[in-house]
Amino acid sequence: MSDYKKNIRNFSIIAHIDHGKSTLADRLLELTGMVAKRDMTEQILDDMDLERERGITIKAHAVKLDYKASDGQVYELNLIDTPGHVDFNYEVSRSLAACEGAVLIVDSTQGIEAQTLANTYLALDHDLEICPVINKIDLPAAHPDEVCKEVEEVIGLDCSEAPRVSAKTGENVEQVLEQIVKVVPPPEGDSTAPLRALIFDSIYDSYKGVIVYVRIVDGTIKAGDTMRLMSTGAEFTVVEVGYMRAQTMEPASSLRAGEVGYITASIKTVGDARVGDTVTLASNPAPAPLPGYRKVNPMVFCGIYPADGADYEALKEALAKLQLNDAALSFEPETSGALGFGFRCGFLGLLHLEIIQERLEREYDLDLVTTIPSVIYKIHLTDGSVVEIDNPSNYPDPATIQFSEEPIVNAHIFSPPEYVGQIMDLCQERRGTFKDMQYITPDRVDIHYELPLNEIIYDFFDVLKSRTRGYASLDYEIMGYQQSDLVKLDVLLNGDQIDALSFIIHSEKAYAKARKIAEKLKDNIPRQLFEIPIQMAIGGKVIARETVKAMRKDVLAKCYGGDITRKKKLLEKQKEGKKRMRQFGTVEVPQEAFMAVLKLDE
């Protein structure tokens, strides 16, 4: 009976973004007959539209493949896909913890990138056997020999047997499967021991409730069992267990140690079955959970408001629906004098923010206004207490502040050496502290900086890409908090403070930013019946000022028979336009002005 494990291989594919992970996964599915060629749409595993468009995998997925290897035996290959972005590092680590091996894809036209290394180290941390695969050999710019050498030198992996493939054309992809069978060890574990199953993903399905993706480490689980989540003690009756196929779910009588599969148990939100948690049985609980669980906490916060106040309920519902499937998303109601009723939302990072925003707009057809993203600041008050602030509105009176701290990240930027100057300039502009720089290969540099998180959550990645013509790659991890000279910058229109535009910023940067915002507002607030002073202030002190002059002329000179309908339409248009205006005191601020300030770039 214990024999069943020797033909199981649990593996992930790790790669830098765009190195071809999803395409290779598709080929593996095709080769193992999981998907008929005619059913292949590009990148089956990425079934969210956004993922497909951005070419990145946001959520992990898993699939069981049956493969008849050259030794004549049939193997059960469990491919556990991992998200490919730094915001989702924790999810990557949980996926890797469910595996014994990893396929490391390296693009033969690009070589090692920041996330190649970061993910490899993550895989090595989990003691995974790594099968390097050199991809994109069909491209003219491919230089597989050099890339193999790079992988051997930098990572220390033997590449002599590394398959050189083109996931796009399918060339040599069979070799990848053979390597997996050969290199990745079968799982261990005792199917008669108390159940310990690692949740590496969970998704919400409107028919079945939450579908929990697990790797069974020890024990056995079947329908009818009472499962218990070890972090919360919550118990559910298992409705169904089974295996994931590419496009279907295949119910099974049980899942045993070493296997990868799914559990449904009428769980209502993914927050109840969080990634990294351990599932055990109420009847025979494991003495201790699997290591490594932590509740992922949002790092980046912003206010999300419906452009039309009438959409508040719709926005609330949409956020709640997204949260069913995304335990890392947090939201709570918030009110802004400028923007009305909305939500303070928390995200893992900026990509996560963008994804949520885009899904709200696209899938739920909502028009949104988003405030400037913020991180969590720790403000030490003179009375010795510490407050954590993720919303500028809650910033304490400066007189009561002893000092402030902000989160700092360890950032590694990989780039060809010719861009080192630009990258260092950028990091200096963003208040970075240079740590060191290493030549990984003669044409690849690892630049290591400590950067304040609030300097990179906004447009850092985009600027980095544009200054290096797309060549640089970034990986970062939170390293802790550092004392910092922070101030809260307020915007006053006609003397009234606009709460939604306040933000916390390093004092050195406040003046330049203040001037820029004042100018943007001036350019984007239409002239009104009276002059509007725009003031940027820290505490009570105004540090920048602009004026929107009073409107002088807006008149229809001729209004006779045929002009009357036109004038009526003009009034209608004015009313429509008004809907997109935010009334602030006596000042009307168009949506676009907010957007312009929020989109304020370099």
Partner 1 sequence: MEPSGLYIHIPFCKSICPYCDFYKVKASDELMEKYEEAVVSATASLGILYSSSVFDTIYFGGGTPSCMPGSSIASIIEALRSSFNISSDCEITVECNPSSPLKSFIPSVAAAGVNRISMGMQSAIDSERRSLGRMADCVRVNQALSICRSAGISNISLDLMLGVPGQTMSSLKTSLSYAINSGVPHVSAYMLKLEEGTVFYKRKDSLDLPSEDTVCDMYDMTCSYLEGAGLTQYEISNFGLPSRHNLKYWKDVPYLGIGPGAHSCMDGKRFYYPSDVVGFIKGDLQCVPDGTSGSLEERVMLGLRLTSGIDFLDDIALSKISADPTLAPYVKISSGNLSLTHEGFLVSNVVIGKIIEKL
Q: Give residues 321-380 in contact with partner 1 (rule: CB under 8 A).
A: none
d(CA 391, CA 401): 16
Residue 555 Cβ, how far from partner 1 at the closest point, in Å?
A: 5
Closer to partner 1 at the Cβ: 508 or 572? 572
Closest CA to 86 of 466, 475, 510: 475
Tell whether the torsion through CA atoms of 422, 427, 430 and 433 is positive or negative.
Answer: negative
| CA distance between the termini of the chain | 64
Residue number with CB closer to partner 1 (512 or 551): 551
Q: Is 559 in the site for partner 1 (CB under 8 A)?
A: yes
Return phi, psi of residue 188, to 5°: -105, -165
Residue 553 as a binder of partner 1 (CB under 8 A): the answer is yes
> 92: which 2 tokens?
């990557």
Can you tell me the distance from the alpha carbon of 171 to that of 165, in angstroms, rounded to the nearest whole number? 5
Residue 383 or 576: the one with the smaller Cβ distance to partner 1 is 576
Find out whether 123 and 94 touch, Cβ atoms under 8 Å: no
Indicate the length of the chain as a whole number. Answer: 602
Residue 561 interacting with partner 1 (CB under 8 A): yes
Q: What minimum distance in Å lies between the beta carbon of 530 and partner 1?
A: 5
Is 207 one of the binding residues for partner 1 (CB under 8 A)? no
Q: Is 551 in the site for partner 1 (CB under 8 A)?
A: yes
Under the criterion CB under 8 A, does residue 234 sit at the interface with partner 1? Answer: no
Query: What 3-state DSSP class applies to 368?
Result: strand
Alpha helices in 331-451 (DSSP H): 350-363, 420-429
- Interior angle at CA 375, CA 374 and CA 380, nearest 5: 115
Site membership for partner 1, residue 554 (CB under 8 A): yes
CB 129 within 8 A of CB 291: no
DSSP state of 164: B
Residue 565 binds to partner 1 (criterion: CB under 8 A): yes
The residue within the footprint of partner 1, chosen from 36, 558, 576, 601 (CB under 8 A), is: 558
Q: Which of 68, 268, 469, 568 binds partner 1 (CB under 8 A)?
A: 568
**Interaction between residue 529 and partner 1 (CB under 8 A):** yes
Residue 495 engages partner 1 in binding (rule: CB under 8 A)? no
Nearer to partner 1 (CB atom), residue 291 or residue 561: 561
Which of 571, 579, 599, 602 contacts partner 1 by CB under 8 A?
571
Nearer to partner 1, 160 or 565 (CB): 565
Per CB under 8 A, the segment of 207-215, 287-295, 388-396, 549-557 that binds partner 1 is 549-557
- In a 10 Å sphere around its CB, with 0-12 CB exposed, 13-18 middle and 19+ buried, how is residue 494 labelled? middle
Q: How far is the CB of 578 from partner 1 (least distance, A)?
A: 8
Which residue lies nearer to partner 1 by CB, 398 or 533? Answer: 533
Q: Choose the stretch contacting partner 1; rule: CB under 8 A; options: 259-267, 303-311, 564-572, 590-598.
A: 564-572
CA distance 350 to 457: 6
Count the helices and strands in the chain (H runs, E runs): 14, 32
CB of 567 to partner 1, least distance (A): 6
555 scored as a contact of partner 1 (CB under 8 A)? yes
Piece of the chain touching partner 1 by CB under 8 A; list 290-298, 397-405, 500-508, 556-564: 556-564
528 near partner 1 (CB under 8 A): yes
> Residue 574, interface with partner 1 (CB under 8 A)?
yes
Please, are residues 216 and 258 in contact by the beta-carbon 8 Å criterion? Answer: yes
Q: Does 570 bind partner 1 (CB under 8 A)?
A: yes
**Using the rule CB under 8 A, is 578 a contact of partner 1?**
yes
Taking the least distance from each CB to partner 1, the nearer of 139 and 571 is 571
CA-to-CA dists, residue 346 to 26, 323, 333, 357, angstroms:
33, 11, 12, 12
Closest by CA to 415, choosing from 382, 443, 390, 394, is: 443
**Number of residues binding to partner 1, judged by CB under 8 A:** 25
357, two tokens: 């925003």
Q: Which residues are 211's β-sheet partners?
A: 203, 264
Q: Is 576 in the site for partner 1 (CB under 8 A)?
A: no
Residue 110 buriedness (CB in 10 A; 0-12 / 13-18 / 19+): buried
The reply to whether 557 sits near partner 1 by the rule CB under 8 A is yes
Contacts of residue 233, defined as CB under 8 A and 6 or more positions apart, other chains included, come to none
Is 438 near partner 1 (CB under 8 A)?
no
State the residues that interact with partner 1 by CB under 8 A.
528-530, 551-562, 564-565, 567-568, 570-571, 574-575, 578, 586
